[in-house]
Structure 1
Amino acid sequence: MHGTRRRPWRRPARTSAAFLAATALGFGLSPALATPAAAAAPTAVSVPGTFNSEIGCAGDWSTDCSQAQLTARTDGSGAWSKTFTLPAGDYAYKAAINKSWAENYGAKAQHFGADIPLRIPAGGRSVTFVYDPVTHWITDDINSKIVTASGSFQSEIGCSADWAPNCLKSWLQDIDGDGIYTWSTEAIPAGTYATKAAIGQSWDESYGQGGSPSGADIAFTVPETGSTVDFRYNSTTHVLSVQTEEPAGPAPGGTLGALYTPDQTTFRIWSPDNSQVSVTVGGQTHTMRPADVHGYTDVYQAVVPGNLKNQPYQFRVGNNSVRDPYARMVKPGTTEGVVVDAEAVQPTGGWAPRPAITKREDAVIYEMSVRNFTIDPSSGVDSAKRGKFAGLTQTGTTHNGAKTGIDHLKELGVTHVQLMPSYDFNSTVPNWGYDPLNFNVPEEQFSQFTSPEDRVREFKDMVNEYHKNGIRVLMDVVYNHTAGKGVLQDITGKYYHERELSGTGNSIDDSNPMVSRMILDSLEYWVRNYNIDGFRFDLMGVHQYKNVDQWAKHLQTTFPDRTLQIHGEPWSGGVDDPQQADKVRYGTTPALAGGHVGVFNGTFRDAVKGGTRDQVLGYMGGSSSSSAASVALGTRGSPLAVKSTSPLSDPWAAAFAYDPEQSINYVSAHDDLNLWDKITYSGVTGSRAAQMHRLGTGIVLTSQGIPFFYEGDEFQHSKVVDGDYETAKNSYEAGDDVNAIQWGEKTANAATFRYYKDAIALRKSTPALRLGSWDAVKAQMSTTIDGSVIVSAISSNTAAPTSHDTIVVHNPTSSAYVVNLPSGTWKKVLDTNGAANATGNTADSLAVTVFKKG
């Protein structure tokens, strides 16, 4: 993302404080407000409503009418209740605390919630109202059942006797109105007990084993005093089930989410604002309790026995069903996770060795979309695999005799593929997927399969096959925002920035330690479980640079043999950030050197290419010398003037790299106009456009740092259809006719492909183009500017730093340039057409020319 919005996000409407205050005193009461954090025990509870006049009040909606007051129960439950006789009619009511509207509760126990409708049948009837000051549930025995778990344990929890259906110490509640009534307690001592479900505080209606009316007692055992006992009554089947769990105590290690073993699954979620947390799995709802998990705070946990593999589960926080931010698998289109043993799933045939890489400057990175790369039939990929993870690594594919797919990448010579968003996103393809839902789940639209384990294996097979073919795999990760605030907001608002920084309306706030930990855990999960070789961070500039440094150092230390590649965009979503000095910028990049973190060198890009969406060409466009100094700096890897890991005072300093690996050099990416479309949009066509295209690419591939280019650039792929450049400027949701790779372009533009292939091969065989440190660049590379022509003399020998063996000439002019080569025998090895083997000292016009001493 380059300061542009991915999609037209819409903010929800806001309700004014004035409106809330006004409606709170009227008959149409206000939308829900936050429940008071620590409300004191009430001294009075009333049921103001439209029936108040019928029970003797002076008027309806009366909070202080004596006839509308409930009575505090004496059964130790803390509940309030009263029975009224009402005539037939349709009514509405709420619960008011302490004879005032200042604290009131409506439907689903919501503070300032909606009015609760009440229909009394013909002939009238008595109605019992009950209020719980802990959950704030106010209900009646017409809208709901008054369900108690009556049994041999009730005296142990404070009831006056066992088998007491009118003791609300064991009251089961259905706050969300789904017909499932639940109650949890830790107060039952160890022992074996029996229970039934009693309805209406009497034995007139009761259910025993299997939901049978007046059926046999339901036996259960509490294994240890302090164990959690969960009661669940299904009002449709009348089945009362009882589930016991061990006391939480100090929790074992691990992360959050659903942690599977064959014997039990541990469910954990961060909930800093709400203690009413549960998980439903296998038809049973389990109350989650605070757990002490090392490295985490405010964690709630439930340990559920049994083998739950592939079972869906649903977290609830308060009255909201919420997704699991740590889910390893999900049911598409829902907030339900799926319990999986993802770590145990192995790729077909087991893991192959990952390709060796000596240093990060040896990388050549190819950005690609899972869908775009193979969705067109011209890819030669089997129809069932097109646009899927499996299609990326199908070998033996061709079009018009030219290699396609992974065989094309091997022929091209790239070392890394960078996959555009590949974990679960909200949009429907074709779409780039920069709207994440679940950070740890492979995107189901890119899978051939529906079963959880098959989906996991397909992704692992894809990574493994790339490794077998000598190519590493990077993931484009979007931790800076989600598809909308609804993704995580119902868990806690602490996931999100108060200030919008991403341009999408829902930027993630990693200054919160638990949000930062979530991102770190996700990164480690992909490396450890899926064998990923590194990450590209979308809008890394939204993140705190100290957090990025911590994440990177943790990964590099935890996986010291991986040589992980980590880089990102050092900008936010085109907005002002008052905390900019704390975020990833060019100026803070030196402080990221210890974690080997690089950034996209947009300054170098703009100097070479010009603007990303305009018709102004930069250095590659002609003989203007205005950008030559900026290009020359970029060809050296944009090194710091003074070697230091301290942040710079200028956040946008062009000379920022402590090490060449920190400069990701590019002139084209998925955002904005790609290289070919930028050139043609600027009015250049024909052979000159092709030559200019090769010049821009040649500069990237012969500069210090890490080269990066976008899928299809190697054969002049265009995203312009019927002259529509506006769509090409931001094609994130354009159709396959715009974004899909058309493999016929490879043979149509074979000369450009050959140039890319030759330039990559030259880079890989020329150590002087891949210097590995700031000191090496300073000592072994001499760069001069002659008008617009940039000449760099480089030594590959650290012991003889001034004995230059490689000369690189960048010539944007319309005339050939004569180079003053040092003494010795020199060969021209790269010119405007690609690989060369010629003598002489002439550098072509509008071209990169490389000479090697030999």
Structure 2
Amino acid sequence: MSTPFQTQWWPDGGPPRGATYDGSGVTFALWAPMAERVEVCLFDDHATERRVPLTDLLFGVWSGRVPGLRPGQRYGYRVHGPWDPYTGHRFNGAKLLVDPYARAITGEADDHAAVFGHVAGGDDTVRDDRDSAPYVPRSVVVDPGFDWGEDPRPYVPWSDTVLYELHVRGATMRHPDVPPELRGTYAGLAHPAVLGYLRDLGVTTVELLPVHHFVSEFVLRGRGLTNYWGYNTLGFFAPHAGYASAGSEGQQVAEFKRMVKAMHEAGLEVVLDVVYNHTAEQNEFGPTYSFRGIHNPAYYRLDGGGRRYRDLSGTGNTLNLRHPDIVRLVLDSLRYWVQEMHVDGFRFDLAPILTRGVGDVDMFGAFLAAVGQDPVLSRVKLIAEPWDLGFDGYQVGGFPAPWSEWNDRFRDAVREFWAGSADGVRDLASRLSGSSDLYRRSGRRPFASINYITAHDGFTLRDLVSYVGKHNEANGEANDDGHNDNRSVNFGVEGETDDPEIVTLRLRQVRGLLTTLLLATGVPMLMAGDESGRTQHGNNNAYCQDNEISWLDWAEEQTWPQLRDTVRELLRIRREHPVFRRPHFFHGRLDPAGGRRDVGWFAPWGEEMDAEAWHDSSLRTLGMYLAGEHTGRTAPSGEPVRDDSFLLWLHGGDTPVDVTLPGPPWAMAYSVALDTSDCVGSDQVAAGEHLRLAPHTAVVLRAV
């Protein structure tokens, strides 16, 4: 039955897209320029549906105001138009559609065949006219009001940033101090026990795996699994309802805001991992949840005259960022999360897809240009995953300022060095010093490099030193999924072992990897749990494991708690000494006053590396001297205060090595700041003396 609505004219010629609550009613606005008829469908507590026809007011936006509606109202759209898959049109008024601008989404996606616009399992060009409403999620009207108070955003400079990649659910599902009813939720993540742990650890910025509302794929549900990571977005404005403890009919929005506010009060930034390259609707054989039924040729990149979907993401479809209204959708979503939800930045999944024109990557294209000039988005942290599955999709070093990038060249070089398979130390030196070969030419700074060794996709740090091969059998794909190029070692035993010598080696190896990561020039990213030896038992693709395989284990007896002390100490050193947080690349020139360079590279015999040493593929030891700079402070005597200088030794060999400590002008002596082997012994060593490094050891020396 139809319900009359009131029309309200807006100063700019049209209402904002989505559902806007004004205190006495709701205005709905949906962009569907090719539709012939649009209805907003309102649902009560008994799932009874009322259909309200909207009118096309301006620029293809169908809108209308329904008085008397309040926040919590569940709704969806039915969009009527031509069914012609051969030209890309897949309108089907029998399918209830989620609002692309929905601020909240409630309900699960059912496996019923009615959720498909076409006859499921058959010809995708044959329309299915069964009603999908009982089997699909609903959009929810939300009251945007929230008391942020002062909300002192941390605004951590890039050079000071330490990222911590974290899964909302997995972080607290096993946390003993979080109440059971809050575990796995936004509220659980905001619990004082969690925030206190993060602050004590020393990280500055929490990077959350996807929190945009997502659904699991049919094939996963068929195997009794779910899309745990969340890279299957349904709503770009809605926080995932499954992570809310308070409810799913708008309460998830307020709970998310409270989490962000609590993190800010704890001095932590919040960065979101966002997925704007594809949606949950998959290819032409996938379900019709939203975009496909609203304006399929605009929302997606299509091939074959419009029937087929171009897949640059490996998930079946690719969002069409060539279309101005789709660019607007993404920009509106990003601004919403910054302005209304107060997040501090974004990490963009498969970011080159967002830049593509007709086919090729275009770093001067519409999306990057729009973000670069946007007064809101250009001021937050922007991180690209700089590769996709298309031609020329590997773009590490290719993004413009102010973007930073995941640097997989750092990951691979560090893994290879510590695994003993590196081709000498040349590449390692480039990664340690900020990867200027990748980022200097575009005018960017060292913080353009997001340095990481592990992330959600791949082995944990403990598994990296415990497994040579992947063990993904639990995923139900015959261990065919996940990476095979792990660059890992197991020290003689595949998997966990009680052998004390092997455990000691593994711990030392992890401490060396952490030292390399957290003291290298650039922005370090630590994966949650690596600081305590979390294991996924060799699973390097746990995207579908919403269970103990993926959840953080807070039980001391199941972890390597001594690693936390190492991480805390390394982050303290980084935080207190600007030499590890350089905002500029090293120049390597001699300082006439001090007679030394801003960075010096040393061979084990105590001399600066020469051409022969740089090209020695058997070299497994490298010394990096970092000369302290002026701190900007002055001593009581009026003399400028310089930061301490440090000498970092990394030894990835299987046998001990004696290194000679360089003398003047570098230093007269060295004190031991950190030793990952606990074998060095002496607190201070004179320049010119030998220092014995145990196998797989990192040592940090402060120059005296």
Alpha carbons of structure 1 residues 244 and 762: separation in structure 2 relative to 1, 3 Å: closer
What is the match of residue 793 of structure 1?
A: 625
Report if the CA contact (8 A) 2:397-2:405 is conserved. no
2:490 to 678, 683, 692: 683
Amino acid at match of 1:732: Y
Q: Give the direction of change, closer, same or farther, for the CA distance of 1:744–1:353 in structure 2 (3 Å limit).
A: same
Equivalent position of 1:220 in the other structure? none
For residue 395 of structure 2, what is the aligned residue in structure 1?
A: 585
CA-based RMSD of the aligned residues comes to 3.0
Q: Which residue identity does 2:195 align to in structure 1?
A: I
| Native 8 Å contact 1:351 1:464 kept in 2 | no
**Corresponding position of 2:578:** 767
1:847 equivalent in structure 2: 697
Alpha-carbon spacing, 1:553–1:505, altered in 2? closer, same or farther (3 Å): same
C-alpha distance in structure 2 between counterparts of 1:564 and 1:266, whole Å? 31
Instruction: Provide structure 2 residue ranges, at least 5 long, that are not aligned to the other structure.
Output: 44-48, 81-92, 109-135, 217-224, 283-287, 303-309, 356-362, 468-488, 492-501, 590-596, 603-608, 614-618, 633-639
Find the aligned partners of 1:501 and 1:259 in 2 and give their Cα distance.
34
1-side partners of 2:438 and 2:383: how far apart? 22
SS at match of 1:489: helix
Find out whether 1:288 has 2:132 as its counterpart: no
Q: Please give the secondary structure, in 1, of the residue aligned with 2:213.
A: coil
Label 1:465 to 1:802 Cα distance change in 2 as closer, same or farther (>3 A).
Answer: closer
Give the 5 Å matches for 1:237-386.
Answer: 242-245=4-7, 251-252=12-13, 255-281=16-42, 285-292=51-58, 298-318=60-80, 319=93, 320-333=95-108, 334-342=136-144, 344-346=145-147, 350-357=149-156, 359-376=157-174, 378-386=175-183
> How far is 1:782 from its partner?
4.0
Q: Give yes or no for the alignment of 1:817 onto 2:659.
A: yes
Deviations along 1:41-87, whole A, 9 cap, x unmatched?
A: xxxxxxxxxxxxxxxxxxxxxxxxxxxxxxxxxxxxxxxxxxxxxxx
AA of the residue aligned to 2:490? G
Query: 8 Å contact 2:25–2:70 — kept in the other structure?
Result: yes
Match of 2:406 among 591, 600, 603: 600
Does residue 489 in structure 1 map to residue 292 in structure 2?
Answer: yes
Shift of 1:806: 2.6
Q: Give the TM-score, by structure 2 length.
A: 0.73
In 2 relative to 1, CA 743–777 (structure 1 residues): closer, same or farther, beyond 3 Å? Answer: farther
Question: Post-superposition shift, 1:511?
Answer: 1.9
Alpha-carbon distance in structure 1 between the residues aligned to 2:394 and 2:35: 33
> Mean alpha-carbon deviation: is it higher for 746-755 or for 471-480?
746-755
Q: What is the Cα deviation at residue 708 of structure 1?
A: 0.5
- The one-letter code of the counterpart of 2:386 is P
Counterparts of 1:552 and 1:781, CA distance in 2: 36
Cα distance, 1:327 vs structure 2: 0.5
Q: Quick one: distance in 2 between partners of 1:566 and 1:286?
A: 40
8 A contact 2:105–2:241 mirrored in 1: no
Question: Where does residue 558 of structure 1 map in the other structure?
Answer: 376
Report the count of equivalent residues: 559
Alignment of 1:190-269 (within 5 A): 232=2, 242-245=4-7, 251-252=12-13, 255-269=16-30
Distance 2:588 2:105 in 1: 48
Partner of 1:422: 211
Change (3 A) 1:274 1:430: closer
Q: Distance in 1 between matches of 2:178 and 2:152?
A: 25
Q: For 1:702, which of 498, 512, 519 is the aligned residue?
A: 519
Residues 1:832 and 2:676 aligned together: yes
User: Contact 2:397–2:438 at 8 Å: present in 1 too?
Assistant: no
CA distance in structure 2 between the partners assigned to 1:844 and 1:273 by the alignment: 70
Q: In 2, Cα distance between the equivalents of 1:380 and 1:837?
A: 40
SS at match of 1:676: helix
Cα distance in 1, alignment partners of residues 15 and 585 from structure 2: 39
Query: d(CA) in 1 for partners of 2:532 and 2:56?
Result: 57
Distance in 2 (CA, whole Å) between partners of 1:421 and 1:414 is 20
| Secondary structure of the structure 2 residue equivalent to 1:600 | strand
CA 1:605–1:777: 2 relative to 1, 3 Å: farther
Choose the corresponding residue for 1:549, options 344, 359, 368.
368
Which of residues 443, 451, 457 is equivalent to 1:671?
457
Q: Deviations over 1:133-190 (max 9, x none)?
A: xxxxxxxxxxxxxxxxxxxxxxxxxxxxxxxxxxxxxxxxxxxxxxx4xxxxxxxxxx
Please give the alpha-carbon distance, in whole angstroms, between the structure 2 residues aligned to 1:548 and 1:827. Answer: 51
**1:806 counterpart letter in structure 2:** F
Question: Cα distance 1:380–1:508, how it changes in 2: closer, same or farther (>3 A)?
Answer: same
C-alpha distance 471-746 of structure 1, shift in aligned 2 (>3 A): farther
One-letter identity of the residue aligned with 1:288: L
Offset at 1:741?
A: 1.2
Asked if structure 1 preserves the Cα contact closer than 8 Å seen for 2:6 and 2:65, the reply is no
Relative to structure 1, the CA distance from residue 642 to residue 504 in structure 2 (aligned partners, 3 Å threshold; closer, same or farther) is closer
Partner of 1:98: none
Letter in 2 for 1:388: T
Contact 1:279 1:302 in 2 (8 A): no
Separation (CA, whole Å) in 1 of partners of 2:335 and 2:643: 44
Q: Larger relative contact order (C-alpha < 8 A, sep ≥ 6)?
A: 2
Residues 431-510 of structure 1 mapped to structure 2, 5 A cutoff: 431-450=228-247, 452-485=249-282, 486-487=288-289, 488-493=291-296, 494-498=298-302, 499-510=310-321
> 1:301 deviation in Å?
2.3
- CA distance, structure 2, for counterparts of residue 369 and residue 375 of structure 1: 10
Provide the C-alpha distance between the structure 2 equivalents of 1:269 and 1:242, rounded to a whole number of angstroms. Answer: 18
Equivalent position of 1:538 in the other structure? 349
Secondary structure of 2:292's counterpart equals coil
Residue 514 and residue 803 in structure 1: after superposition, are their counterparts in 2 closer, same or farther (change >3 A)?
same
Equivalent residue number for residue 743 of structure 1: 554
Q: State how far apart, in whole Å, the 1-side matches of 2:19 and 2:557 are.
A: 46
CA contact (8 A) 1:795 1:801 kept: no
**Deviation for aligned residue 1:244:** 4.9
Q: How does 1:629-648 map to 2 (within 5 A)?
A: 629-640=426-437, 643-645=440-442
Q: Specify the code of the residue in structure 1 equivalent to 2:276.
A: Y
Distance 2:278 2:203 in 1: 30
Quote how far apart the aligned CAs of 1:853 are.
3.4
Who is 1:54 aligned against?
none
CA apart distance, 1:634: 0.8
The percentage of counterpart residues that share the same residue type is 27
